[in-house]
Amino acid sequence: MSVHRKTLVLKLSFCTLYIIGIFIIARQIFRADDSSKSYKDQLPFPREDNNSQRQKDVDVALQKLQREKYEDKILKLEYNVVPGLGENGKPAYLYGKDKFQGEAALKKKALNVILSNKISLTRKLPDIRNSLCMNITYDKLLPSASVVIIFYNEPWSVLLRTVHSVLKGSPPHLLKEIILVDDHSEEEELQGQLDYYLSTRLPAKVKLLRLSHRQGLIRARLHGARNAKGDVLVFLDAHCEVIKDWLQPLLQRIKDNKNAVLMPIIDNISEETLEYFHDNEASFFQVGGFTWSGHFTWINIQKHEVESRPSPISPTRSPTMAGGLFAINRKYFWEIGSYDDKMDGWGGENLEMSFRIWQCGGTLEIIPCSRVGHIFRNFHPYKFPNDKDTHGINTARLAFVWMDGYKRLFLLHRSEFKDNPKLFGDVSERLELRKRLKCKSFKWYLDNIYPEKFIPDEDAVAYGRVRLRNKPLCLDNLQQEEDKPYNLGLYTCHSKLYPSQFFSLSNAGELRKDDSCGIILDDNQKPYAQVQMIECNNENDGKDWILSNDGRIIHVESGLCLDGTGLHSDDDVRASSCANIPGQFWKFDFYNNEIST
């Protein structure tokens, strides 16, 4: 009897050890870094060199355990969704513990991930298109589209909401594929769990490509484009949602003009509440511009474009593209030079492509009947490859290839690139591309595509530092944000011209710094008035100034003179009644035209 018990105990011990061994192996596999493998590749399928039944049993058990693990996690996420929350693009809010967690996520990820996880991946959005769009009939035969989406550590629900939105909002016969390119994400949920989700819940046209190491947006997009099979490439960011019938207008326009590179109207989705913002006036939208420091900016549609387009929903020419969302004929993408593959990470590629398209014979247009929502984050929640200033380096590359002599205005902001080409690398291939494509000059681009762009050293009566004649103080923006109104200041004059002290008195009579113009804030209670810098395209009057022969800068509407009397470095400059006092006499570095009296 005792021998039988010992045998039974021994068998039970072996069985227990066997089961423990399986779970130890499973835990090790769950923790493994499978970031560069597909779901099927990472699973422990039976090994060819070990055909024992026991090994096969272990492998099958591990596969089942892993699938169950992923399924449990996904079911919990699906269970966490609050029905109706955020529907129709309405703002959503959290309370109690969830609110604090959401605020913490917002600070870390620049996006309220906690809230996003509670909103349906297939939520409905309002149809906010111009009513004229409803009457358009598109060709039955249109080119097919490959939608390419790059992601790096994108929050699970945000990424998948983008995918579901594209699937739900696109005619199946036009959507050839969605290509997801993982730029070597590190988040655990974006590894095997994502592969499992795609294989069990989404159609085969959603494809996942994984990069073996971090390459940055530009090279990741090139990888996606090389693998695309559709007639048209549509690039989207990984935090977008599309509006009804967004795809057909893009494909129709490219069918009509294969050299047209297109953008939808890009609406804003709140990073805090996921509200889908849109202007109540459906016909209002803006197009792309740029700053001389090399950044993209939104501008009003230029006057000549408003007057020449047939209707508010006609393709509208845009000097530049935002970069995250655009459509282009796949063959034309490669013919026109795709991307500069020597650019690193992110930044500058959108302006490079914009200048290249226009200067080399293409067109860049916004299609008003195509609308896509995009989450604009206040900061990048991740570092760029090798911690480099990729935006600055990439912009220097495009300046030396496409901007000709006008690169001087960029180099004013980034003087470190002026005499040091090693900082931005060899651009000979891109210069050869420009020559081969017989591209036009940057002056042609400014004259014909962006005639309203202010050129601070050409479109001016005088420009440069604006210095008080009786002391070494110059007008200065005092490092204020240029996209908001700010008080014009004074600061000790720099030894050479820096952007903070580069002002112009324009041919139109504006005292301006790039796209900001000076106005007077008159306060009858004080003997002087404040000078405020606002957007030049602001409809407010009172932006006219004149420069007298003796050096006074006079505000036309009020008759007041710019005055630095009794002020010191870092003070706000003032305007006061004109008088023969030293603090009202100024000198510009350079003069182009005869001075007014």
Of the CA atoms within 13 Å of residue 377, those in its CB half-sphere come to 20
pTM of the entire structure?
0.85
Query: Taking a C-beta distance cutoff of 8 angstroms, is the pair 257, 265 a contact?
Result: no
Question: How confident is the model over 327-340, as pLDDT tens digits?
Answer: 999 999 999 999 99
Q: Would the pLDDT of 229 be above 90?
A: yes
pLDDT at position 183, please? 96
Nearest to 64 by CA among 18, 23, 20, 21: 23
**How far apart are the C-alpha atoms of 183 and 276, rounded to whole Å?**
27
Q: What is the mean pLDDT of residues 570-577?
A: 95
Q: CA–CA separation, 250 vs 308, rounded Å? A: 21
pLDDT digits (tens, 9 = 90+) for 152-183: 999 999 999 999 999 999 999 999 999 999 99
Q: pLDDT class for 194, splitting at 50, 70, 90?
A: very high
- How many Cα atoms occupy the beta-carbon half-sphere of 357 within 13 Å? 31
What average pLDDT does the chain have?
A: 89
Has residue 42 got a pLDDT over 80? no
pLDDT band at 381 (very low <50, low <70, confident <90, very high): confident
Using the predicted structure, report yes or no on whether residue 256 has a pLDDT greater than 70: yes
Domain span(s) for CATH 2.80.10.50 in the chain = 460-591
Q: Which residues pair with 182 in a beta bridge?
A: 151, 210
pLDDT of residue 143 exceeding 90, the answer is yes
Stronger pLDDT, 52 or 124, i.e. the higher one: 124
pLDDT at residue 44, as a whole number: 40
Q: Is the pLDDT of residue 536 over 60?
A: yes
pLDDT computed for residue 553 by the predictor: 97
CA distance 533 to 551: 21
Share of the chain above pLDDT 90, in %: 77
Q: Could you name the CATH architecture of 460-591?
A: Trefoil (2.80)
Among 125-129, 376-380, 416-420, 580-584, the range scoring the smallest mean pLDDT is 376-380
Write b or e for each residue in 236-258: b if 16 or more Cβ atoms lie within 10 A of its Cβ, otherwise e: bbbbbbbbbbbbbbbbbbbbebb
Q: What is the distance between the alpha carbons of residues 456 and 508, in angstroms, rounded to a whole number? A: 12
Across residues 543-548, what is the average pLDDT? 94
Q: Which two tokens stand for residue 294?
A: 């090399």
The encoded tokens of residue 174 equal 């036009």
> In the structure, what pLDDT confidence band is assigned to residue 283 with cuts at 50, 70 and 90?
confident
Looking at residue 526, the DSSP 8-state letter turns out to be S
Q: Return phi, psi of residue 455, to 5°.
A: -105, 105
Task: Provide mean pLDDT across the span 36-42.
Answer: 40
Separation of alpha carbons 411 and 418, rounded Å: 6
Determine the average pLDDT of the residues in 412-418: 91
Task: Return the percentage of the chain with pLDDT > 70, whole number.
Answer: 89
Nearest Cα residue to 517 out of 500, 492, 495, 537: 537
Is 487 a residue whose pLDDT tops 80? yes
Q: How confident is the model at residue 55 (pLDDT cuts 50, 70, 90)?
A: confident
Assign 3-state DSSP to the chain and report helix, strand, coil percentages, each to 5.
35, 20, 45
Q: Which pLDDT score is estimated for 4?
A: 53
pLDDT digit string, tens, across residues 291-350: 999 999 999 999 999 999 999 999 999 999 998 899 999 999 999 999 999 998 878 999
* Ordered DSSP codes for 536-565: TTS--S---EEE-TTS-EEETTT-EEEE-T
CB-CB neighbours of 540 under 10 Å: 9
pLDDT at position 596 is: 43
Count how many Cα atoms sit within 13 Å of the Cα of residue 402 in the half-sphere of its side chain: 27
Alpha helices, DSSP H only, in 324-441?
Answer: 330-335, 349-359, 390-402, 407-413, 428-436
Confidence grade of residue 41 (pLDDT, cut at 50, 70, 90): very low
